[in-house]
Amino acid sequence: MRKLWNLFANKNEAIETTLTVDQIKKEQIPGHIAIIMDGNGRWAKKRSLPRVAGHHEGMKVVRKVTRLANQLGVKTLTLYAFSTENWKRPKPEVEYLMKLPEEFLGTFLPELMEENVRVEMIGDKELLPAHTKKAVEKAMNDTKDNDGLILNFALNYGSRAEILHAVQKVLQDAKKGKIDENNLDEALFSSYLMTKGLPDPDLLIRTSGEIRLSNFMLWQLAYTEFWFTDVLWPDFSEEHFLQAIATYQKRSRRFGGV
C-alpha cells in the first residue's frame, strides 16, 4: 500500500492500477503532454552502473511512451531531453547525451515515419554539437509532412532564456514598427516563444520524486495539470503513463473560473 500511495503527487487521487488503452480513450485525452524525464542517474547508481547506462535505458522508455501516446491520440508529446543547465554535468556524460539523439532517431525514425509522427525541437540548436544537430534536423526534415503526433524534444532548452529572448524580439519589433506595443497581449507574446504554433501542455509528468519545474516551460505551464511520481524514468512504464492520464481525467480544469 505504501508503494502505491507514494506513486501519486496528489495522495487523494489514488486510482485503479490496472488500466487499458480502451478505458482511457473513453474519456478526454490530453492534447499536449509534457514530461520531465528524471532519475536516469539514480537508476544507474542503484544498480552500480555508470550514469550513461541509465540514460541509455531511459531512451528505451521514450520509444514506449511515444508509441503509446500516438496510440491514444495525443497530439503533442514534449520531452525535456537536455536543459541549458545540463552542460554543467561531467564532460563524458554530456558527450554521451549528445550522442543519444543520433542513436534514438537513427533507429526509431523509420517507425516514426510509418506512424505519421512529426519530430520537432525547442531549444538553442546552434549550440549543439554538429552531429547532434544534423541528426535532429534530418528527423525534422524527413517527418515535416507527417500530420500525426508531434514528438517535440526540448534540447538545450531553458525557459528563462526562452522568455528573455522573446522579450528582446518584442522590443526589437516594436522599435521597427512591426508591432504596436500597446497591442501586446498573452497571445501575441506567446507567438514569440519557441512553442509558437503549439497549444500549452494539458498535463505535465515528472518522474523520480522531484517536485519542481527545473526551468521548463514556465510560461506555457501556467494552467497545466501536474502529476509527479517517485518512479525513476527508466522504470516508467506504459501503465504509469496511463495512470497519469487517468488522474488528469478525474480533475476539474477551471482556468481560474468556478
Between CA 70 and CA 224 the distance in angstroms is 20
Distance CA 205, CA 68 (A): 15
Q: Which of 6, 22, 38, 40 is catalytic?
A: 38
Catalytic residue among 86, 124, 146, 200: 86
Residue 144 Cα to chain centre, angstroms: 19
- How many other C-beta atoms lie within 10 A of the C-beta of residue 73? 14
Helices (H), the chain: 2-5, 21-24, 40-46, 51-72, 91-114, 130-142, 159-175, 186-190, 238-249
Amino acid at position 3, single letter: K
End-to-end CA distance of the chain: 34
Q: What is the largest CA-CA distance in the chain?
A: 62
Give helix 238-249 / helix 51-72 axis angle, nearest 10°: 50
Does residue 86 have an active-site annotation?
Answer: yes
Please list the active-site residues.
38, 86
